[in-house]
Amino acid sequence: MSRLLNKVAFITGAAGGIGLATAKLFLQEGASVIMADRDADLLEDARETMEQLVKAEGAEGSFNIVKTDVTSQEEIEQTIGHVLRKFSRIDIAVLNAGIPGANMPLEDYPVDLFDEVMAVNLRGVWLSLRSVIPAMKQQQSGSIIMTSSIQGLSALPGTTAYTTSKHALVGMMKGAALELAEFGIRVNTIHPGYVETPMMDAIHHAVVPDAPEKFQASIASSVPMGRYAKADEIARLMLFLASDESSYSTGSSFLADGGILAALPSF
Ligand SMILES: NC(=O)c1ccc[n+]([C@@H]2O[C@H](COP(=O)([O-])OP(=O)(O)OC[C@H]3O[C@@H](n4cnc5c(N)ncnc54)[C@H](O)[C@@H]3O)[C@@H](O)[C@H]2O)c1
């Protein structure tokens, strides 16, 4: 339970499903976790969850909550400044905040919504990435993990904005990995399949408002493993990439998708 002992971890989207599961696991593994999210109410719930965890398990790590919108360069830089004043280092950055956008034909997709998806899923990751680099370069170490998606490697119709943003992260990750390898900084993407989180709940309700559970069941039955992932199963992949156990992995895409992308249409 101490694979991240003395490490400082910055996580965006940390009040949501995958982000919070990652924050909990990192805390249990001994990290000082900085939890950034734009949603103040969700952050308050996350604070309670983390406090309960500390009470129940007496975790070795610590946590801090900082309301931050990743689309704002000013807010990101303020938050990173706060982290550096407090801890003088950043070992791990999980750039995870993301939004799904809508599911609709390309020609009907609102331009404003396309811009918003890009602002959070792509520009927000880039802003966070560039803000953590100076400290990591100084330390000559760091692990940066970007949350892409199976939609960063394949596409679903109706969600081109999301797919575009998640594919673009792979390019960003590869470029950053090459630029930063000589400084001991590793950069990788993870690609979850369907995960039980508030984001997927919202999608079920938006696409099939009358029968969201039925819709979820039909998606789950199309997954080779026959189910969605739990957020904790994605957090465990984050832990591997954040820890020194992945010391030779950089510039790579890591899947946790229950076999989805292994499948060709059956006949
Ligand atoms: N749930 C899935 O099935 C799934 C699959 C593949 C990839 N992902 C990706 O995983 C990441 C986390 O998704 P999740 O399922 O946990 O979703 P979630 O909605 O539960 O959590 C996302 C969190 O990001 C926060 N956020 C959104 N915009 C933000 C902004 N501008 N600044 C700061 N925080 C912001 C939200 O407040 C929320 O707490 C996303 O990037 C998502 O695209 C999710």
User: pLDDT digits over 197-211, tens only?
Assistant: 999 999 999 999 999
Distance CA 248, CA 232 (A): 24
- The Cα 38–Cα 47 span in angstroms is 14
Parse the chain into domains and list their residue ranges. Answer: 8-196+230-257
Whether 21 has a pLDDT exceeding 90, the answer reads yes
Specify the pTM: 0.98
Percent share of the chain, pLDDT over 90: 96
pLDDT over 80 at 60, yes or no: no
Ligand 1 centre to CA of 267 (Å) is 35
Q: Residue 16 has what pLDDT? A: 98
Q: Which band of pLDDT confidence, cut at 50, 70 and 90, is reported for residue 57?
A: confident
Q: Which residues pair with 8 in a beta bridge?
A: 32
Q: In testing the pocket of ligand 1, which one of 12, 18, 65 has its CB within 8 Å of the most ligand atoms?
A: 18
* pLDDT class of 167 with cuts at 50, 70, 90: very high
Cα 177 to Cα 18, 137, 172: the distances in Å are 23, 13, 8
Angle of helix 73-87 versus helix 124-139 axis, rounded to 10: 30
Under CATH, which number does the domain 8-196+230-257 receive? 3.40.50.720
Catalytic machinery residues: 162
Overall size of the chain counted in residues:
267
Residue 235 CB–ligand 1 contact under 6 Å:
no
The C-alpha atoms of residue 202 and residue 207 are separated, in whole angstroms, by 9
Report pLDDT for 61: 85
Contact 92, 34 (CB under 8 A): no
Mutate to test the pocket of ligand 1, among 78, 197, 219, 230 (most ligand atoms within 8 A of CB): 197
Cα–Cα dist 120/220, whole Å: 27
Amino acid identity at 211: A
Contacts of 74 (CB under 8 A, 6+ apart): none
- Flag whether pLDDT at 58 surpasses 90: no
Region 218-244: what's the mean pLDDT? 97
Angle (CA) 177-157-146 rounded to 5° is: 20
* 263 Cβ contact list (under 8 Å, min separation 6): 224
Q: Which pLDDT value is given to residue 159? A: 95
Calculate the alpha carbon distances from 236 to 112, 114, 147, 192 in Å: 35, 31, 13, 12
d(CA 225, CA 249): 26
User: Residue 93 in contact with residue 128, Cβ under 8 Å?
Assistant: yes
In the predicted model, what is the mean pLDDT of the chain?
97
pLDDT value of position 164:
98
